[in-house]
Structures are given as C-alpha cells and as structure tokens.
C-alpha cells in the first residue's frame, strides 16, 4: 500500500507519517521545505523520540520525499491508495488544486482503485471542507466519478508534538508524547478500510471530535492564556500552578457536562479522561510554550472552536460556565506582539470595546448575559487585579 502525506513538519513526521510507516505502508512526504524533503529522500528514515515515563527512540523507515509544488505530486496522486495531510487548516486550500490535478490524471489513466483522502488537521470535519476546495478545482463532469472512487474521510487527531531542537542537530528528528489518538469516520471510506494500528474507525465521529475539542483543545488553550497572562513560559509550569489548574479543570468539567448530556458519555470515564489530559499537560519531557499554544486567538475564539463551541453548549443544556468565561476573558487579554492575530485582536478591542469585539469574533448576541460577565473579568485582568 502506498500513501502520499502532505506536510513533513513535526506532526507529519512524528504522528501520521509514523503510524502509516509502522503499518507497513510506503509513505512519501510532500512539503515545500526542500531541506527536509532532500533529507528524507536521501536517508529514507528518521528518528522519533517518544517521551513519557518510559522514553524510547524509534526509527521510522520506508519513507521518501518530494516537493509539494512539483509535478511529481500529480503522478503520485494518480497511483497511491491513501492521501493524508498535516499542513494546518489554512494550507488545505492551497494544496487542493494539486490534488485536483492528480485526480484528473488518475481518471485519465483509468485507475479505478479506491483512493481515500484524510485531512488530519486540528479542525472539525476538516476533510469535508477540504473536499469542497478540491471539487472547486475539478471539472464538473468528474464529480460523479470522484464520488464513486474516492473517499473523503473526516478524522479527529490528538497528539502533542511541540517544537523541539535535536540535540544532535538532525533536522528530521522529532519528539512526541506517548499518547496518540487518530479517529476516522468509517462511513466515509471507499473500499476496504485499511488496518493501521493507532487509527480507530468509528461510526459516531462527531462525539470524538467534540470530546477532543472540548477537553484537550479547550484545556490547552485556557492553560496557555492564563499562563501567558501570569508570565509563565511553558504549559507544564502553567498547569502546575494550583490556581490555573483549578480553572482549567473546572472549564473542562463544564464542557464535559455538555458532552455527557449530548452524547451520553459515561460521567466517571469522562472525568478520568479529563485527568489524563491534565497529566499530559504536566509531561516533564515536553517543552511547550504558552505563546505557541495560545497563538491565533481570534481563530480560537470563533463560534465553532475550542472556547465558544463548548460555551454555546452550556447555553443549550443549561449547565454552568464560570471557568469557561474566565478562559475566554484570558484569551481576549492575550497580548503578544509576535502573533499577528493577537495584534489584530488588541486593535479591534481598542476600536470597538471588548464587548462588541468579542461578539463580532464569537458570533454571540451582545445582549447575552454572559457578555457582560466576560467584560467584567476582562477588565479585572486588564487592571492586573485578577489572581
């Protein structure tokens, strides 16, 4: 089996590419970073440090690399069995035309073998959105053929892969945590679902998408924003702060009540899942900056993202949201001159006031009672009176 994976960064190499290679699949990485691609194409392997209580270094083999802007991409898509991505949500639209060209070539060659495409991005129904971008670049007359022969499989991915500098200077070396979760929608595959250890097919993907979004992503973001507010540099140091930990756990419990009511999750098991997430944030072997995790605050404050979506759920199921509101106020207070969205957010708040800026970003009615609460917490933080 052959796979073309877009994105040879840390997540691509340390998570998806590794799982595919471990399953005996020939993986070709496509990326614009020529230095990394050349190294992969020359060596056909790279080391992954899996760190936790029992840390190991594993060698990923059977890999190759091509430049994602080259015509080789089209040739590969015409013949491979699987296409995966780990490029970031904003990049999907950029690579869609190349994939469309590859699909056209696949059709020309009469290749009717099933091809499944999985966008492994930190977004809800990412592959479905990717499909629309690809279809926009495809001739109309091919749409029916594509729907019959190509599966667009949504997924939920979870593994912390922080930026890490190799001690040996190896540009391919990557460090990841022990935990990983790759859940895919089994109803969207075309043909036989490949057996890949670490990839879990389910028929209720949204339950797992929201479990991850409302727990890991919500907790990670709030840890980052409160840590950054208090001048704490890393996620580990932030979550070890007793007051921050209390708020983060409280926020995840609030979003957890939404999940329990919406998907009938077992309450005891979900609370254990929350504890597992908190312990992952504590991992002493992972160095992850609060500034990195908090980047792009406007995206994270969007209606469908990790702070506002669980908040909307608390309205729906009438459960408390005290700690979520603190987390949202902390996000609005994120002041990082190195982050374009943080600068844009600060400017919008200056121009419109925090209430109207927040409602514009989050899509929440300005008359909603929680808006005033968020404004009050935000102001307390601005006055450095929040402890």
The secondary structure element, H or E, covering residue 329 is helix 322-332
Is the confidence at residue 347, as pLDDT, over 90? yes
Of the ranges 157-161, 169-173, 343-347, 382-386, which one carries the lowest mean pLDDT score? 382-386
DSSP annotation of 305 reads: S
pLDDT digits (tens, 9 = 90+) for 271-309: 999 999 999 999 988 889 999 999 999 999 999 999 999
Would you list the domain boundaries of the chain? 2-203, 206-382
| pLDDT value of residue 384 | 85
pLDDT digits (tens, 9 = 90+) for 103-158: 999 999 999 999 999 999 988 899 999 999 999 999 999 999 999 999 999 999 99
Distances (CA, A) of 14 to 9, 21, 52, 217: 8, 11, 15, 19
- In CATH terms, the fold of domain 206-382 is 1.10.1040
Is 10 labelled as part of a ligand binding site?
Answer: yes
Is 3 labelled as part of a ligand binding site?
Answer: yes
Strand pairing report for 155-158 and 63-67: unpaired
Is 219 labelled as part of a ligand binding site?
Answer: no
Is 7 labelled as part of a ligand binding site?
Answer: yes
Is 52 labelled as part of a ligand binding site?
Answer: no
Write down the CATH number for the domain with range 2-203. Answer: 3.40.50.720
Query: φ and ψ at 215, to 5 degrees?
Result: -115, -70
Average per-residue pLDDT in the chain?
95
Q: Edge-to-edge, what's the strand order for the sheet holding 199-202?
A: 155-158, 181-185, 199-202
Is 11 labelled as part of a ligand binding site?
Answer: yes
pLDDT digits (tens, 9 = 90+) for 1-15: 999 999 999 999 999
**Entry field: residues in the chain:** 387
What distance in Å separates the CA atoms of residue 227 and residue 168, rounded to the nearest whole number? 31
| pLDDT value of residue 348 | 97
Is 227 labelled as part of a ligand binding site?
Answer: no
pTM of model > 0.75: yes
What distance in Å separates the CA atoms of residue 61 and residue 47, rounded to the nearest whole number? 9
């Amino acid at each position: 089996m052959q796979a073309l994976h877009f994105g040879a960064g840390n997540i691509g190499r340390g998570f998806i590419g590794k799982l595919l290679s471990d399953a005996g699949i020939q993986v070709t990485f496509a990326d614009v970073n020529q230095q990394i691609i050349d190294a992969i194409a020359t060596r056909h392997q790279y080391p992954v440090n899996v760190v936790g209580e029992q840390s190991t270094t594993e060698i990923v083999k059977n890999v190759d690399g091509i430049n994602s802007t080259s015509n080789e991409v089209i040739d590969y898509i015409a013949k491979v069995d699987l296409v995966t991505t780990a490029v970031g949500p904003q990049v999907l639209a950029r690579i869609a035309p190349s994939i469309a060209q590859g699909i056209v070539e696949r059709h020309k060659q009469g290749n009717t073998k099933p091809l499944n495409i999985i966008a492994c991005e930190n977004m809800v129904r990412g592959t479905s959105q990717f499909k629309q971008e690809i279809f926009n670049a495809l001739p109309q007359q091919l749409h029916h053929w594509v729907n019959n022969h190509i599966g667009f499989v949504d997924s939920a991915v979870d593994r912390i892969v922080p930026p890490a500098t190799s001690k040996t200077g190896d540009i391919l070396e990557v460090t990841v945590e022990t935990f990983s979760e790759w859940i895919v929608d089994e109803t969207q595959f075309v043909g036989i679902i490949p057996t890949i250890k670490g990839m879990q097919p389910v028929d209720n993907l949204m339950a797992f998408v929201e479990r991850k979004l409302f727990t890991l992503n919500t907790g990670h973001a709030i840890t980052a924003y409160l840590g950054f507010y208090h001048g704490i540099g890393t996620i580990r140091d932030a979550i070890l702060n007793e007051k921050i930990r209390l708020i983060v756990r409280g926020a995840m419990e609030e979003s957890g009540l939404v999940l329990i009511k919406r998907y009938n999750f077992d309450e005891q098991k979900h609370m254990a899942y929350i504890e597992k997430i908190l312990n992952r944030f504590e991992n002493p072997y992972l160095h992850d900056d609060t500034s990195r995790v908090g980047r792009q605050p406007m995206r994270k404050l969007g209606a469908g993202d990790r702070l506002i979506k669980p908040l909307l759920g608390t309205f729906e199921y009438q459960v408390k949201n005290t700690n979520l509101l603190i987390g949202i106020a902390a996000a609005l207070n994120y002041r990082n001159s190195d982050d374009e969205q943080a600068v844009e957010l600060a400017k919008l708040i200056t121009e419109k006031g925090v209430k109207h800026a927040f409602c514009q970003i989050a899509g929440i009615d300005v008359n909603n009672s929680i808006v005033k609460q968020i404004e009050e917490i935000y102001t307390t933080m601005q006055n450095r009176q929040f402890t």
